[in-house]
């Protein structure tokens, strides 16, 4: 295993309004695309600013390529950041903006001109050198901001919700381009977003954050298929949560809820029979059963279409809502109908177990 | 057709007339042949000629220009540093300090004049250009301070952070990013200061001593010996010069805002 390019060790940060980071640790491999995912106020931007050196931490260490940079000012860290609002210098041309970091490093004029042209070509804005930031569209500013950062060949590129201000279509396009750019340059990306779809699309690894703590760090597939807790399951891909008690049948762990028993999968320590159990099931894995078969009873509340998917909102007798989704739009089920549903054991993942929950 | 009220335009014209009619009279009488201000006898540039021949007026003008230039420059430096200091740091009593910094603007000039007089006598400073410059700098600082502070308040902190992120040290960030972005505020504050200094008479009279005359003091003392059309000519020129500065200051302010958007 190679040495991590960035390491956060037990970072704690408290603002006057309260604690923001409660001891987070993270190790990032060179060339990795890692996303910090969480809703606003979870501490992801603060984490990024601490890595950049724009914020100090109360305790903990920041290591870049094994070197402790905790007390170094931002200008001596060798990381670059793409700001959420781009922060292009309004009094400088696109060229001067991109050249700024190189000028400080006293590179020769010819070098700078070539590097700026290359960077602009990289973000597909060739020939834009003389424009002023005020003459660019939002998407173009975004590209210039990226060019200004990557031209310095940073060890780590920090991106703070870089696509947040763009419209959906442009976002999708920029997602693909950013990913291409990252592969092409081989730079480590630390990317912040609150959009789980964006995170799943782009990342090598995702760190789901809540209340200044990493809830789970893993590949998109791991996060999606094996959520560690109910928060992750709900936040990433809005999974259904079913609560009940643990039971063992034919040597298999099962969930017993409302008198129905169904086998489930547990990746952690298996709970004993009779303990409380919470299971997450993605909406696309909810299967409907024919009349009379054993399954969880529910009533269809709502039927809607979104993005080529049929979405059925069900209500269980206890009032819990379950969402089922299907490709295509063919379904005979109508609101008000009673149904029975179940799920394959491999798609029902235990997210919480034990009596404390 | 939309019915238009005639009142607003009437009101506007009335105000303009009340404000500018006296100035217009001064301008007209500055080109009057007669020595008496109340009788029109014909057009002449005689008084302007007299004015330019008057040695005292020449020295007073130079004094006023030096005074305005030096004190507005000094006020620009001190006011800007003060504004940056209060905008980019936070400390106890910051609000009170900001209020105190603008107090000279609201203090009656006659009181400021007396304060300066007492202060300089206490220090034993010789009255003259140096005391003029110190006092003018002091009452000009708030104008720069307010302008630059407003500019800084509208400026996103992430510009400075981005510059540091790209490798610039604190000093470099100041000269490359902060200073150019607040420059319109500094310049318009400075022009305002210059205009304030250039027409100040009350404070100047208190601290000038006997040897140094500024243009406003000269006019004031000449009024005591009777108004000659020469004073009208001088007032006309000073008014036009002030107008030019104010318009320039407004234009620069607008230019800066446009760039920012």
- Asked if A45 and A187 sit in the same domain, the reply is yes
Q: Which 277-316 residues of chain A touch chain B by CB within 8 A?
A: none
- Asked if A98 and A244 sit in the same domain, the reply is no
Domain count, chain A: 2
pTM of the predicted protein model: 0.79
Please indicate whether, in this complex, the C-beta atoms of A74 and B161 are within 8 angstroms of each other.
Answer: yes
For B198-220, write each residue's pLDDT tens digit. Answer: 889 899 999 987 778 888 888 88
Q: Is A184 on the interface with B (CB under 8 A)?
A: no
- Asked if A26 and A130 sit in the same domain, the reply is yes
CATH of the domain at A287: 2.40.50.100
State how far the Cα of A285 lies from the Cα of A308, in Å rounded to an integer: 17
Residue A232 lies in a domain: no
pLDDT tens across the length of chain A (357 residues):
578 999 999 999 999 888 999 999 999 999 999 999 999 889 999 999 999 999 999 999 999 999 999 999 999 998 999 999 899 999 999 999 999 999 999 999 999 999 999 999 988 899 999 999 999 998 899 999 999 999 999 999 999 998 887 888 888 888 998 999 999 889 999 999 999 889 999 999 999 999 999 999 999 999 998 888 889 998 887 789 988 888 888 888 888 888 888 888 888 777 888 888 899 998 888 888 887 778 888 988 988 887 778 888 898 988 888 998 887 666 678 888 888 899 988 888 888 887 544
- Asked if A163 and A51 sit in the same domain, the reply is yes
Please indicate whether, in this complex, the C-beta atoms of B181 and A101 are within 8 angstroms of each other.
Answer: no
Helices (H), chain A: 44-52, 94-104, 109-122, 138-150, 168-185, 196-202, 220-225, 230-235
- Asked if A173 and A262 sit in the same domain, the reply is no
Q: What was the pLDDT predicted at A1?
A: 54
CATH of the domain at A208: 3.40.50.300
Please indicate whether, in this complex, the C-beta atoms of B164 and A74 are within 8 angstroms of each other.
Answer: yes
Residue B161: closest C-alpha in chain A: A54
- Asked if A173 and A256 sit in the same domain, the reply is no
- Asked if A84 and A176 sit in the same domain, the reply is yes
Residue A126 lies in a domain: yes
For B21-75, write each residue's pLDDT tens digit. Answer: 888 888 888 888 877 767 778 888 888 888 888 888 888 889 999 999 999 999 9
- Asked if A198 and A286 sit in the same domain, the reply is no
Please indicate whether, in this complex, the C-beta atoms of A87 and B162 are within 8 angstroms of each other.
Answer: yes
Q: What was the pLDDT predicted at A329?
A: 60
Among residues A201, A171, A183, the alpha carbon closest in space to that of A122 is found at: A183
Q: Is A81 on the interface with B (CB under 8 A)?
A: yes
Domain around A255 = 238-353
Angle between helices B215-224 and B229-260 (to 10 degrees): 150
- Mutate which of A50, A52, A74 to test chain B, going by most B C-beta atoms within 10 A? A74
State how far the Cα of B93 lies from the Cα of A62, in Å rounded to an integer: 35
Task: Say if residues A343 and A284 touch (Cβ distance below 8 Å).
Answer: no
Please indicate whether, in this complex, the C-beta atoms of A104 and B161 are within 8 angstroms of each other.
Answer: no
Range A62-72 burial, b when 16+ CB lie within 10 A, else e: bbbeeeebbee
Q: What was the pLDDT predicted at A136?
A: 93
Q: What was the pLDDT predicted at B4?
A: 67
For A272-289, the DSSP string reads PTTSEEEEEE-GGG-EE-
Please indicate whether, in this complex, the C-beta atoms of A104 and B259 are within 8 angstroms of each other.
Answer: no
Task: Say if residues A6 and A51 touch (Cβ distance below 8 Å).
Answer: yes
Please indicate whether, in this complex, the C-beta atoms of A90 and B177 are within 8 angstroms of each other.
Answer: no
Confidence check: pLDDT of B260 > 50: no
- Asked if A277 and A336 sit in the same domain, the reply is yes
For A12-45, write each residue's pLDDT tens digit. Answer: 999 988 899 999 999 999 999 999 999 988 999 9
B165, B180, B261 ranked by CB distance to A134: nearest = B261
- Asked if A146 and A279 sit in the same domain, the reply is no
Question: B182 falls in which pLDDT band (50, 70, 90)?
Answer: very high
The CATH number given to B41-260 is 1.10.3720.10
User: How far apart are the CA of A222 and the nearest CA of chain B, in angstroms?
Assistant: 34
- Asked if A263 and A315 sit in the same domain, the reply is yes
Residue B162: closest C-alpha in chain A: A87
Q: Is A105 on the interface with B (CB under 8 A)?
A: yes
In chain B, where the domains are located: 41-260
- Mutate which of A50, A87, A105 to test chain B, going by most B C-beta atoms within 10 A? A87
For B45-57, write each residue's pLDDT tens digit. Answer: 888 888 888 888 8
Q: What was the pLDDT predicted at A34?
A: 96
- Asked if A85 and A196 sit in the same domain, the reply is yes
Q: Is A85 on the interface with B (CB under 8 A)?
A: yes
For residue B248 the two structure tokens come to 């320039």
Please indicate whether, in this complex, the C-beta atoms of B166 and A152 are within 8 angstroms of each other.
Answer: yes
User: How far apart are the CA of A202 and the nearest CA of chain B, in angstroms?
Assistant: 25
Domain end, chosen from A167, A193, A227, is at: A227
State how far the Cα of B192 lies from the Cα of A301, in Å rounded to an integer: 69
A54, A79, A149 ranked by CB distance to B161: nearest = A54
Q: What was the pLDDT predicted at A357?
A: 41
Q: Which 169-228 residues of chain B touch chain A by CB within 8 A?
A: 169, 172, 176-177, 180-181
Q: Is B168 on the interface with A (CB under 8 A)?
A: yes
CB contacts, 8 Å: B90 with chain A: none
Q: What was the pLDDT predicted at B261?
A: 42
Domain end, chosen from A200, A227, A254, is at: A227
Domain end, chosen from A227, A252, A275, is at: A227
Query: Which residues, in sequence order, are CB contacts of B116 under 8 Å at separation 6+?
Result: B131, B134, B135, B138, B203, B206, B207
For residue A219 the two structure tokens come to 């590949």
B161, B168, B259 ranked by CB distance to A104: nearest = B168
Task: Say if residues B182 and B144 touch (Cβ distance below 8 Å).
Answer: no
């Amino acid at each position: 295993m190679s040495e991590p390019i960035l390491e956060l060790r037990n970072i704690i940060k408290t603002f006057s309004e309260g604690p923001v980071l409660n001891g987070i640790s993270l190790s990032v491999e060179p060339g990795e695309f890692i996303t910090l995912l969480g809703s606003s106020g979870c501490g992801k931007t603060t984490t990024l600013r601490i890595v950049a050196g724009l914020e100090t931490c109360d305790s903990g260490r920041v290591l870049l390529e094994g070197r402790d940079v905790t007390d170094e000012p931002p200008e001596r860290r060798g990381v670059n950041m793409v700001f959420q609002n781009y922060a292009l210098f309004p009094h400088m041309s696109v060229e001067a903006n991109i050249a700024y970091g190189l000028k400080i490093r006293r590179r020769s004029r010819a070098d700078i001109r070539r590097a700026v042209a290359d960077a602009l070509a990289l973000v597909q804005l060739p020939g834009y050198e003389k424009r002023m930031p005020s003459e660019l569209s939002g998407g173009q500013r975004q590209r210039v901001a990226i060019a200004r950062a990557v031209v310095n060949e940073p060890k780590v590129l920090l991106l703070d919700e870089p696509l947040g201000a763009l419209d959906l279509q442009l976002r999708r396009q920029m997602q693909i381009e950013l990913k291409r750019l990252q592969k092409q340059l081989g730079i480590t990306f630390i990317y912040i977003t609150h959009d789980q779809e964006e995170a799943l699309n782009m990342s090598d690894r995702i760190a789901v954050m809540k209340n200044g703590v990493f809830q789970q760090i893993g590949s998109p597939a791991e996060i999606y298929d094996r959520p560690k807790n109910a928060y992750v399951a709900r936040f990433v891909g809005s999974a259904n949560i079913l609560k009940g008690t643990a039971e063992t049948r034919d040597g298999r762990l099962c969930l017993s809820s409302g008198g129905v028993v169904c086998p489930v999968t547990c990746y952690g320590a298996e709970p004993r029979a009779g303990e409380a159990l919470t299971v997450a099931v993605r909406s696309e894995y909810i299967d409907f059963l024919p009349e009379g078969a054993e399954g969880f009873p529910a009533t269809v509340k709502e039927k809607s279409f979104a993005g080529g998917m049929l979405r059925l909102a069900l209500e269980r007798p206890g009032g819990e809502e379950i969402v089922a989704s299907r490709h295509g739009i063919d379904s005979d089920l109508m609101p008000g109908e009673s149904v029975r549903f179940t799920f394959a054991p491999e798609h029902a993942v235990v997210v919480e177990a034990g009596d404390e929950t | 057709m939309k019915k238009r009220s005639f009142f607003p335009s009437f009101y506007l014209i009335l105000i303009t007339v009340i404000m500018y009619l006296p100035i217009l009279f001064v301008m007209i009488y500055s080109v009057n042949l007669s020595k008496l201000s109340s009788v029109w006898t014909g057009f002449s540039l005689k008084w302007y000629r007299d004015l330019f021949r008057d040695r005292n007026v020449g020295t007073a003008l130079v004094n006023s220009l030096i005074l305005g230039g030096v004190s507005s420059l000094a006020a620009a430096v001190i006011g800007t540093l003060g504004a940056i200091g209060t905008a980019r740091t936070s400390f106890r009593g910051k609000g009170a300090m900001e209020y105190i910094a603008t107090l000279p603007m609201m203090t009656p000039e006659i009181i400021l004049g007396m304060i300066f007089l007492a202060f300089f006598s206490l220090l034993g400073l010789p009255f003259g250009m140096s005391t003029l410059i110190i006092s003018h700098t002091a009452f000009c600082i708030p104008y720069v301070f307010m302008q630059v502070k407003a500019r800084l308040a509208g400026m996103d902190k992430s510009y400075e952070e981005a510059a540091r992120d790209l490798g610039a040290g604190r000093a470099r960030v100041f000269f490359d990013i902060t200073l150019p972005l607040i420059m319109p505020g500094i310049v318009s504050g400075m022009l305002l200061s210059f205009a304030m200094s250039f027409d100040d008479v009350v404070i100047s009279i208190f601290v000038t001593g006997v040897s140094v005359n500024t243009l406003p003091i000269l006019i004031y003392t000449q009024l005591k010996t009777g108004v000659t059309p020469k004073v009208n000519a001088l007032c006309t020129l000073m008014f036009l010069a002030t107008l030019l500065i104010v318009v320039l200051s407004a234009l620069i302010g607008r230019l800066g805002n446009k760039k920012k958007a």
